[in-house]
């Protein structure tokens, strides 16, 4: 099987034209959503860790 670099590049260019990129607004909104979810998850796990730690300290009297 022979590989033709010119045809390959033509095909890549053709496929790249089909890509629909998100708008700047969409990118900013989804980035903000991801950061908010990460912050929320961090806060949740911090609170759960503190509650469990308090429970362990109370249980063992440390």
| 1 within a domain of the structure (yes/no) | no
Say how many C-beta atoms besides its own lie within 10 A of residue 3's C-beta: 6
Q: Which residue range(s) make up the domain with 53?
A: 23-62
Domain tally, the chain: 1
- DSSP label of 2: -
| 46 within a domain of the structure (yes/no) | yes
pLDDT one-digit tens code per residue, 9-23 = 999 999 999 999 999
Kindly report the pTM of this predicted structure: 0.65
d(CA 35, CA 13): 34
| 49 within a domain of the structure (yes/no) | yes
| 50 within a domain of the structure (yes/no) | yes
Q: Alpha-carbon Rg of the chain, whole angstroms?
A: 26
- The pLDDT assigned to 12 comes to 93
Angle, CA 43 vertex, CA 39 and CA 45 arms, to 5°: 115
HEC readout, 11-28 = HHHHHHHCCCCCCHHHHH
| 35 within a domain of the structure (yes/no) | yes
pLDDT one-digit tens code per residue, 23-61 = 999 999 999 999 999 999 999 999 999 999 999 999 998
């Amino acid at each position: 099987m022979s590989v033709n670099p010119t045809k390959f590049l033509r095909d890549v260019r053709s496929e790249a034209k089909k890509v629909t990129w998100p708008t700047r607004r969409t990118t900013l909104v989804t980035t903000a959503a991801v950061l908010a979810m990460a912050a929320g998850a961090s806060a949740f796990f911090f609170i759960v860790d503190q509650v469990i730690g308090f429970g362990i300290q109370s249980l063992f009297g440390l």
